[in-house]
Amino acid sequence: MTSAHLLRLLVFPGLLYAVPAAWVFLWIERKAVARMQRRIGPPFPQPFYDFMKLLGKESPPRPGLEGGLMRAWPVLAAASAAGAVALLPVLPGAGGFAGDLVLLLTLLELPSLFLVAAGFSSRSPFGQIGSAREAALGLATSAVFVTAVLGIGAAQHTFELEALVRAPASPLRWLAIAAIVLCLPAKLHVTPFSVANAEQELYAGALTEYAGPELALWELAHGLEWVALTGLVAALAAPPLATWAAPVWFVGISVAVVLSLSVLAAATARLTVEQAVRFYWRAAALLAVLAVSASWLLGAGS
């Protein structure tokens, strides 16, 4: 492993950036929604305080296989999200390997799968209903998300992230990025697509049975998903820049996406499961397929 790989994994956009950024993004989302609703909102370190408070509490005793699985899911979810952040090609010349785009997509999809498994591993009916909703919405969004991301790679004839983000952007690529952005509210459980964790209906959804350090890890995994998914949009949307400017654009675009999603959450009401799935199978899927088809046709004609 080279020094460039270690830099990406441990420093930027790795753990030293990703973990604090996860708490900052969670705070921005909560603060922006509160201000739009004319509330004060949480203080800046509140997500970190919540994480530390949960670490100091005890988890419910769960003997046997059920307990082992419920303890494993949040660890795997946090590790997958952290790995996805570390793969993001922010610094020019940071290195990569052929097919790392496929690995990135896999790591981005795993936290949602682990969340579904966590709800079904518990004995709570609220957790199981939340997992069923997460699975239904996840199938719809993942189809659009994967199609759009792989479509960008196919249009550029590469699945290597470093080469992909350095390629010049086209209007059709922006269509695919728009489709990816449309998937983010559902993947991040943001209103109007927060049907899987609707507090007024399902308590905490798939996480109803979680408490203490296990819940803290779920909160950290959720924050890391914010960093990874907004970072993917930033990496694809930012122009090729010098080393010193690339991190500035990366963080700036990521924060702009967080603020945009927060405004959407504050300005909309929650959809039903049927409405959310219908939206992704129709409008978002059409946008992704249009971008992929047009890119493929132009590539075939060139």
Within 10 angstroms of residue 171's Cβ, the number of other Cβ atoms is 8
pLDDT confidence tier of residue 301, bands split at 50, 70 and 90: very low
Task: Give the CA dihedral 137, 143, 149, 153, nearest 10 degrees.
Answer: 170
Helix (H, G, I), strand (E, B) or coil at 87: helix
pLDDT confidence tier of residue 237, bands split at 50, 70 and 90: confident
pLDDT at 157: 78
**Pick from 1, 4, 24: nearest CA to 12:** 4
21 vs 27: CA distance, rounded Å: 10
17 vs 90: CA distance, rounded Å: 12
pLDDT at 61: 81
- Residues 79 and 131 sit within 8 Å (Cβ to Cβ): no
pTM of the shown model: 0.89
pLDDT confidence tier of residue 242, bands split at 50, 70 and 90: low
134 vs 146: CA distance, rounded Å: 17
Angle between helices 246-267 and 15-36 (to 10 degrees): 30
> Where is average pLDDT lowest: 73-82, 86-95, 140-149, 168-177?
86-95
More reliable by pLDDT, 215 or 299: 215
Within 10 angstroms of residue 141's Cβ, the number of other Cβ atoms is 26
The residue with tokens 């995994």 is 221
Contacts of 109 (CB under 8 A, 6+ apart): 142, 146
Q: What angle do CA 182, 207, 112 make, to 5 degrees?
A: 40
- Residues 94 and 162 sit within 8 Å (Cβ to Cβ): yes
65 vs 250: CA distance, rounded Å: 42
The residue with tokens 């983000």 is 165
Angle between helices 100-121 and 125-155 (to 10 degrees): 170
